[in-house]
Amino acid sequence: MIRALLAAAYVVFALVPTARADDALDLRLRHLESGLRCLVCQNQTLAESDADLAADLRLEVRKLALAGKSDDEIRDYLVARYGDFVLYDPPLKPVTWLLWFGPFVLLAAGTVTWIVVGRSRRRATPGVKAEFEVAARNLLAGAAASPAGAAPAGVGQAETDSGDAARQPLDG
Amino acid sequence: MTLKSLRWLIPIAVFAVIAAFLYAGLFRDPREVPSPLIGKPAPAFSLAELHAPDRRLSPSDMRGQVWLLNVWASWCVSCREEHPLLVALAKTGIVPIVGLDYKDKPGDGRAWLTDNGNPYRTSVMDSDGRTGIDWGVYGVPETYVVDRAGIIRYKQIGPLTEQTLKQTILPLVRRLQAS
């Protein structure tokens, strides 16, 4: 009985480390393949594609990994054959500058436009307001001259008309 | 008419540029991935010949002449489409064509050539697709133009058409042969 248990334990402990090493490799390859594009179904990664070629390439990637190649070396191996297109993360080089920096250039251009337009608008507003200000001052001066101005009931017909005319721009 | 009064043109111009790019994009095939192997030496292989498995062919055997490598397979549907063109091209004798029988059973490949005609000087067997990976093959058929020095000059992805053959491949072959 004890012997059987020991034998079982031996088998289990003998198996566990290799299983772990395999898991680690699987995990590493899965991570690596998730960043690689399948050439056949171009919107799938190498990890998730069912295409024949993807299976072949996964096998190739595993062979390279088992031969001790690093992730970068494996990526270079595929890029040499299929081009940068296999990388979901395109490398930074003169041809891809527009791709990498284009959005930031657009963002900067948008921000500059926004600021310039905002400024010219703010500068334009006081000019319009000056007319209103004069009208408002006139109105206030008129109201101050007539003590009844505060009480609408006491305001005469003619005065109300001119008052309304003066008030109009204020509403607008 | 000041510059300021033309400001309304800016959004229209931006729109026109974007529209031009998108319009051009309509006529580009996203499946055609430019090969990094153009201008590079043809990847080496030494593969058994389809009709004489005890003999092997390698790209260095073709050194000194301009040649085509055509990737085909008996299971490949669009290969049937381009095959008559290859047979006709082989008859002219302008350029030797080497076939790469990609991930195929030798018996199937031989039978297919018997049925459809054999335009190839030699076909070699890439049963496990390893050589295909080295050449960056990702869809059959594909056709490569290799120059005298063994440099890949052109890659056609998908079936050859009369147009690509007459307008691109044959002029290129003649130019390479003349140089």
Q: Write the pLDDT tens digit of every residue in A1-10.
A: 667 776 776 6
CA distances from A32 to A2, A40, B87, B137 (A): 45, 18, 43, 21
CB-facing half-sphere around the CA of A55: CA atoms within 13 A: 6
Do both A33 and A48 map to the same domain?
yes
Do both A71 and A109 map to the same domain?
no
Do both A41 and A116 map to the same domain?
no
Q: What mean pLDDT is predicted for residues A67-72? A: 93
- For residue B142, give every residue at least 6 positions away whose Cβ sits within 8 Å of its Cβ, in sequence order, or none: B70, B71, B135, B155, B156, B157, B158
Q: How far is A76 from chain B (nearest CA, A)?
A: 12
CA gap B152, B145 in Å, rounded = 6
Q: Do B138 and A40 touch (CB under 8 A)?
A: yes
Do both A51 and A105 map to the same domain?
no
Do both A83 and A101 map to the same domain?
no
Q: How big is the CA angle at A37 (ends B100 and A34), to the nearest 5 degrees?
A: 130
Report the CATH number at residue A54. 1.10.8.640
Do both A84 and A135 map to the same domain?
no
The residue segments making up the domain with residue A65 are 2-91
What is the number of other CB atoms lying within 10 angstroms of the CB of residue A136? 15
Q: Is B30 on the interface with A (CB under 8 A)?
A: yes
Residue A149: predicted pLDDT: 47
**What's the structural domain count of chain A?**
2
**Between B33 and B160, whose confidence is greater?**
B160
Residues of B with Cβ-Cβ distance to A79 under 8 angstroms: 36
Which of A53, A56, A82 is nearest residue B33 as measured by Cβ atoms? Answer: A82
Residues of B with Cβ-Cβ distance to A83 under 8 angstroms: 33-36, 136
CA gap B136, A12 in Å, rounded = 43
Q: What rounded mean pLDDT belongs to chain B?
A: 93
What does B31-62 look like in DSSP terms, one character per residue? T-PPPTTTTSBPPP--EEBSS-TTSEE-GGGG
What is the number of other CB atoms lying within 10 angstroms of the CB of residue B100? 28
Q: Write the pLDDT tens digit of every residue in B10-69.
A: 889 999 999 999 999 888 877 778 889 999 999 999 999 999 999 999 999 999 999 999
Q: Residue B171 has which token pair?
A: 């002029």
Residue A147 banded pLDDT, cuts 50, 70, 90: low
Residue B80: predicted pLDDT: 95
Q: What is the ipTM of this complex?
A: 0.81
Residue B13: predicted pLDDT: 93
Sign of the four-CA dihedral A64, A70, A73, A78: positive
Q: What mean pLDDT is predicted for residues A133-160? A: 64
Residue B4 banded pLDDT, cuts 50, 70, 90: confident
Find the radius of gyration of the CA atoms of chain A.
Answer: 39
Sign of the four-CA dihedral B145, B96, B69, B149: negative
Do both A12 and A67 map to the same domain?
yes
**Region of residue B46 (left: phi > 0; alpha: psi -120 to 50; beta: else):** beta
Residue B8: predicted pLDDT: 86
Q: Which chain A residue lies closest to B33 (C-alpha atoms)? A: A85
What domains are there in chain B, each with its CATH number?
A: 37-178 (3.40.30.10)
Do both A25 and A55 map to the same domain?
yes
3-class secondary structure, A25:
helix
Domain boundary, last residue among A47, A67, A91: A91
Domain boundary, last residue among A91, A119, A143: A91
Do both A12 and A85 map to the same domain?
yes
Q: What rounded mean pLDDT belongs to chain A?
A: 79
Q: Do A53 and B129 touch (CB under 8 A)?
A: yes
Q: How far is A129 from chain B (nearest CA, A)?
A: 23
Residues of A with Cβ-Cβ distance to B139 under 8 angstroms: 39-40
Residue A156: predicted pLDDT: 46
Domain boundary, last residue among A35, A68, A91: A91
Q: Write the pLDDT tens digit of every residue in B102-112.
A: 999 999 999 99
